[in-house]
Structure 1
């Protein structure tokens, strides 16, 4: 074990043998008449060098006797916090899936409510047709109104029970904010969809019972493919549950076939953007947030502003990636699989001339929902546009606070204020929209960019080359 390995090395002043013992190099002159340069013919020993990286294979790994961490003779008890976290996540997923599969129960209840109302409407129509006047009597009108009140309260109890149950479980039982957010968002979406289902069928039922008053002429021609009450089927409601819209219609524009290559591309976009958002959040956003906690606690306003400026860039990038993943990729996957024809989920909100135009174009499913079921009915009842907008943003602010505050277990009103305070900002920017400036601001920006390029950039180099 202590034997040395000799290696011959050619040098300028003769041959030398190199002995390696214990990782050190020792050079000795061979017994010839050549000296090391000082003429005395004595052997020279070099100073031992510190082992480099190429000697890492000899590092001592086992230096002492140690028990396994799970053994009884271990000095320190191991931590099982990783298993605890895994159990919490598994429990959160289990509760989220349980709440998700409870939703069809509430949809079934909504279907049964409308089915009973449709049966009652058929009987009422038969009585109206058998009456001498050929139209609904005052008693029939009161009966219709009473039926609608009962149906409305039944729907309200059903969907509110689903939302309250989900909110309670998410707030008190689900720890992970992402799982809680997905679960709460699904409950809010179903709440909005069921309300649209009830309101739309109410108007269709009214037109069905009052044909002599011209109500049927107000029903879109598209609905004749599935007239009321033929649309009251559970399959029709389940399709609406999955459809990428919040507004119920008995019939939707449909495509001819499913393009599975298109679906695969959109799924790839969702996966890639999800990974990108996770990496960006973990590597850039989270460290900045952690470094901001002490500044926020000490109310260091300048440092807080500096952290916010740092966070704004990565937040914008993550938001844009999330917008594309949700509105372009995910909703198009749903639409393609369901052959849902209307894919106008957003417009060119990046060209908005005012804040109001932005809110009307960036999230069209929500905008069309509130316009159809809240804003326009209030306008039709004599409310002013300002009052109707106030109610719309009030309801939207409450839903935003529920969506953000409940999964994070912090209902502090920030999301509510952030949404509700959009009203004065919309009022301030509305004159810009009324001025009809168009997109001249973008043209001005392009002119300045071209001027910079002509002076310093590639355009300047091309002009210099041509002139020379």
Structure 2
């Protein structure tokens, strides 16, 4: 029934609008001027901040920079990673919204990675100092051939360009001195994932152009007239293609793309997601749909707050607050508008998680999670597009 009903909707779309798929048009989403590539220049400039973090750690390891001085320099570097690309996007008119989202996503990933890089190296220094304080002179005779050499990378031998760039390209946000490695590259597995990447990205572009764009365009008038019945009708009509596209994007990114990257780099940890589709609570969904981000939040944000005596509820609220900030950062800056309702919408996940966890169990909780995904996303899409349309088109008329 689901296949037949969705096939009818797709056929109705083709009859009404014809074929709207235009792969060439996708280029204009990234470039306004073919001779100006500001988003690509931003991404290339990100190397400066990564190398700055590496050299700060090298000076800290050598003892030529104090811990307080290193903390100040790392803080300035991390703040610049967030502020610099945002200022460029806001000031340079040739940056397109899609190109800006892509560039800001790279900078957000870089921010999280360098935050982890700084934390782990500090933990290594603290551990080395603690061991040195407890060390006692050896009283026994030394071995003729010395100590057995260890194959693991030890601090500060990890502070190399090779190590830094391996971490930057690795499909993880949490830094380690020794990452798990796979013994070889599986060519058949890699080719399957590559085929999926190419196929699903084409499918995503086609579905967005053919199905979502006309529905969103036809939703502007009901929003402008505040025709609530038509708004609800457009919302429900958009929910089907939006959710289908979201599911395809999830598979394309978390399964196909990250596995391709991991296979090429022989990266051993392939846990990019868990069974979020079985979620019986909103909290379980957020903990399992994006494992790299969840591990980062747990390791570098949640647990440090708990160790400092912060309550679990306050720490969870802080994690949601940080998540809401980065979601809004990735959308509001490229669209050059900030919407408090979007930020509050993300924070509404906290009472929603409490209500679902408190009153719903089993299949009822799972249904609540799916409904929030299917309905919540198109609401945000329509409101963002409406506000962007009003600010950039109606205001200029």
Under TM normalisation by the shorter chain, which class is it? 0.7 to 0.9
Pairwise CA distance, 1:88: 1.8
| Kept in 2: contact 1:401–1:414 (CA 8 A) | no
Q: 1:364 aligns with which of 288, 291, 298?
A: 291
1:295-310 mapped onto 2 (5 Å cutoff): 295-310=222-237
| Kept in 1: contact 2:301–2:319 (CA 8 A) | yes
Q: 2:114 aligns with which of 176, 179, 194?
A: 194
1:298-354 CA distance string (max 9 Å, x none): 101111001000000110000001101110011111101111001000001000110
Counterpart of 2:349?
422
Which protein has the bigger strand share?
A: 1
1:92-171 mapped onto 2 (5 Å cutoff): 94-120=37-63, 147-171=66-90
Cα distance in 1, alignment partners of residues 161 and 221 from structure 2 = 54
The alpha-carbon distance between structure 1 residues 441 and 198, as it changes in their structure 2 partners (threshold 3 A), is: closer
1:422-441 mapped onto 2 (5 Å cutoff): 422-431=349-358, 437=362
1:308-327 mapped onto 2 (5 Å cutoff): 308-327=235-254
Which protein has the bigger helix share?
A: 2
| Kept in 2: contact 1:196–1:373 (CA 8 A) | yes
Q: Which has the higher contact order (CA 8 A, sep 6+)?
A: 2
Counterpart of 2:267?
340
Q: TM-score, normalized by length of structure 2?
A: 0.77
Q: Which has the larger radius of gyration?
A: 1
Q: Does 1:294 align with 2:213?
A: no
Counterpart of 1:184?
104
CA RMSD of aligned residues (A): 2.6
The alpha-carbon distance between structure 1 residues 306 and 177, as it changes in their structure 2 partners (threshold 3 A), is: same
The alpha-carbon distance between structure 1 residues 335 and 441, as it changes in their structure 2 partners (threshold 3 A), is: closer
| Kept in 2: contact 1:193–1:246 (CA 8 A) | yes
Cα distance in 1, alignment partners of residues 203 and 338 from structure 2 = 29
Cα distance in 2, alignment partners of residues 440 and 286 from structure 1 = 32
Cα distance in 1, alignment partners of residues 305 and 30 from structure 2 = 49
1:387-419 CA distance string (max 9 Å, x none): 101111111111110101111222223442232
The alpha-carbon distance between structure 1 residues 153 and 224, as it changes in their structure 2 partners (threshold 3 A), is: farther
The alpha-carbon distance between structure 1 residues 427 and 207, as it changes in their structure 2 partners (threshold 3 A), is: same
Cα distance in 2, alignment partners of residues 208 and 91 from structure 1 = 51
Pairwise CA distance, 1:87: 6.8
Q: 1:211 aligns with which of 124, 131, 140?
A: 131
Pairwise CA distance, 1:237: 1.0
Cα distance in 1, alignment partners of residues 274 and 200 from structure 2 = 21
Q: Which runs of 5+ in 1 are unaligned?
A: 1-83, 122-145, 216-222, 443-468
The alpha-carbon distance between structure 1 residues 253 and 199, as it changes in their structure 2 partners (threshold 3 A), is: same
Deviates more, 1:264-273 or 1:408-417: 408-417
Q: Does 1:274 align with 2:217?
A: no
| Kept in 2: contact 1:253–1:341 (CA 8 A) | yes
The alpha-carbon distance between structure 1 residues 89 and 336, as it changes in their structure 2 partners (threshold 3 A), is: farther
Cα distance in 2, alignment partners of residues 263 and 100 from structure 1 = 26
1:148-186 CA distance string (max 9 Å, x none): 221121111112213211111223324422211110100
1:95-139 CA distance string (max 9 Å, x none): 122111111111111111000000018xxxxxxxxxxxxxxxxxx
Q: Does 1:374 align with 2:301?
A: yes
Pairwise CA distance, 1:439: 10
Q: Does 1:398 align with 2:329?
A: no
Q: Which runs of 5+ in 2 are unaligned?
A: 1-27, 136-149, 368-397
Cα distance in 2, alignment partners of residues 105 and 341 from structure 1 = 28
